[in-house]
Amino acid sequence: MIVTSPERRQLARDLERLLRQGKLGEAESRLNTAIEVGTLALLLLDQIRAPDILAELQTLDVEDDNQSTASLAVVPGSVSLPIADSDKAVHVPPRDELAELRGATEREQQRADAISRDLATTSEELRTLRALRAQDAASAASNAEQWAELKASFEKERERADAVTRDLAVMAKERQALQKLRGKDAILMASNRRELQEAKQELERERQRNHAAATLGQKGEQSSSSKMSAPLPREPLALTGRTPASSPDAPTPIPVQVAVAVPANSGGLRGTPSVLDTSTLSLQGRTIHLFGVETDGKASSADELARYLDGREVVCGPAGPADVYRCQVEQKDLSTVVLFNGGGWAAPDATPELVLAAGRARSARVGVWSK
């Protein structure tokens, strides 16, 4: 901003050269000379349009360097100044004008000093600004690093947010599916409660019929007692090793009226079976497994199933592997009867109606679900 002319640039080059060479005294002398020249220039600039400026310049010793040293002439009442070789006397202004000129020179000197101080202050400010600029550059580099780190952190957080959003979407779908299943479970539970209520009413009617039969006479009562101690009634009851008479408060299963068609083909079996367990029968010299039933392995449950069959004929048809059959007794599916009364668990390949029968036994807490 300051070095705007060839003279100033030359001054700056000279100062740089002297300072680089370590000539500090010469540099200061060069600056003082420049200040004096600047002071004279400022003074003359203010007086350049004055009508007597030429006469005043002529009063100064401004001979050309190629001319010889001028002689001095003393004029009474004026300052001794050099005169030209033509021996012509130069007019010297009065002393009051010289005093005014000296005052103006002193003022200009003070002004030049102020300008020098301003120059020094400006130089100091320039150095400060350069230092601040360097600090700003370092700060900008640090800010760039922080910005890069923040950007990387933002990208990571955005990825995490995207993952959380995807997880929430999956959870929302699972929640909807669970709500649908819950609705289905509520419907199933309501149906189970309704069927349980109907079973209780049927049991109450059965008890009333038994009580009416007991009043017919001692003989009929003895016959009824013998029947209760031997085979069970021909309706699905709990296959738990306990008769209803020994545990009157136990949950009573619901009678099942399920008719399952058995394929009529050459692989079918018919006859009176022997009960090996609640999922295995011996029929016509062959060991067959009831479809969809996993036995609890208890001998008491097998005895209950044997009492339930009570020597009745079963009709069995193949239901998958060679030894797996679906059997019926008096148009009732034996697998459904066993699962409905808690005589075992539903196998993995069980049909939906068999799973439902096992679920009802679980709701009534009978058989394997009594604990």
> Mean pLDDT, to the nearest integer, of 226-244?
38
User: Ranked by mean pLDDT, which of 224-233, 258-267, 325-334 comes out on top?
Assistant: 325-334
Question: Does residue 234 register a pLDDT over 90?
Answer: no
Torsion of CA 300, 302, 308, 312, to 10 degrees: -150
DSSP 365: T
One CATH from 4.10.640.10, 2.40.50.90, 3.30.930.10, 3.30.70.1050 for 230-369: 2.40.50.90
Each domain of the chain, given as residue ranges in start order, spans 230-369
- CA-nearest of 332, 303, 302, 339 to 315 is 332
What pLDDT sits at residue 63? 54
Q: Confirm if 290 and 335 have CB atoms less than 8 A apart.
A: yes
The most confident of the ranges 78-82, 179-183, 201-205, 332-336 is 332-336
Any bridge partners for residue 326, and if so which?
A: 317
Q: What is the pLDDT of residue 198?
A: 76
Find the mean pLDDT for residues 43-62: 74
pLDDT at residue 213 is higher than 60: no
What's the confidence (pLDDT) of residue 184?
A: 73
> CA-to-CA distance for 303 and 58, rounded, in angstroms?
152
Per-residue pLDDT averaged across 90-115, rounded? 76
| pLDDT 10s digits, 294-309 | 998 888 889 999 999 9
Say whether pLDDT at 281 is over 90: yes
- In the chain, at which residue ranges do the beta strands (DSSP E only) sit? 71-73, 81-83, 269-271, 274-277, 280-283, 286-290, 293-295, 314-318, 324-329, 332-333, 344-346
**pLDDT score for 105:** 83
Which carries the bigger pLDDT value, residue 266 or residue 11?
A: 11
Residues in the chain: 371
Of 54-63, 129-138, 143-152, 323-332, the range with the lowest mean pLDDT is 54-63
Residue 236 has pLDDT above 80, yes or no: no
pTM score, whole prediction: 0.34
Q: Is a pLDDT exceeding 50 seen at residue 25?
A: yes
Looking at every residue in the chain, the average pLDDT score rounds to 75
Residue 192 half-sphere exposure toward CB, CA atoms < 13 A: 19
How many CB atoms sit inside 10 A of residue 283's CB? Answer: 17
